[in-house]
Amino acid sequence: MDAIKRDPLLMAAKLIVGFGIGIMIFAMVMIGIGLGAVATVERADLIAEFVKVGAPKNMIWLVAVALALALAMLFLGVRFLLELFGIIDSVGKGDPFQPENGTRLSRMGWLALAAQGVALALKGVVKVLEPYAIKAGEKITLDFDLDLAGILLVLILFILARVFRHGAAMRADLEGTV
């Protein structure tokens, strides 16, 4: 912990990651409340609005699916940042090349890959809802595509996981020979 206090970069990283986790958890709570409202108190109003613009009544379930997918994306983001937080802690302790960091990086790769999949599913749901939203005078903007940068991030994380595992194994071998 002392190294983190002395190193402004590690302190800034920890603060930014912690802030990001807090924002995502807040957004998850808000979306959860919205999901509850769609299922209960706002249900009749939404159905009436869908019928008014010519959409089937059961389209309300797509709104619920979109909110659930957004909730899933935020959950994946929180998990990703918690893994990163663990890596930052180990760097602050002066021991980044440990097997657990390789595992963390690998989990981060899987989380990033899952986020890409959820984003694509969310885009598909929004594409179905979009024409009805436009008729109702609402605008839905969602700019998710199969993201090359996201795929590169996944590859980099998996490669770094191997590097960290190899570094940890080399260090263990070196300590065993001394």
- What is the predicted pLDDT for the residue at 90? 92
- What is the predicted pLDDT for the residue at 139? 82
- What is the predicted pLDDT for the residue at 178? 58
The token pair that represents 18 in the structure block: 């912690």
Contact assessment for residue 2 and residue 63, using Cβ atoms and an 8 Å cutoff? no
Nearest by Cα to 153 from 105, 117, 120 = 105
Measured distance CA(168)–CA(178) in Å, rounded:
16
DSSP 96-142: --SHHHHHHHHHHHHHHHHHHHHHHHHHHHHHHHHHHHHHTT-----
pLDDT in 10s for each residue of the chain, 178 residues: 566 678 899 999 999 999 999 999 999 999 999 999 988 888 888 888 888 888 887 888 888 999 999 999 999 999 999 999 999 999 998 888 888 999 999 999 999 999 999 999 999 999 888 888 888 888 887 777 777 888 999 999 999 999 988 888 888 777 777 5
pLDDT, tens digit (0-9, with 9 covering 90-100), for 25-37: 999 999 999 999 9
Alpha carbon 47 to chain centroid distance?
30
- What is the predicted pLDDT for the residue at 57? 77
- What is the predicted pLDDT for the residue at 2? 60
- What is the predicted pLDDT for the residue at 107? 97
Nearest by Cα to 112 from 53, 160, 156, 153 = 153
- What is the predicted pLDDT for the residue at 4? 65
- Report the predicted TM-score, pTM, of the whole model to 2 decimal places: 0.85
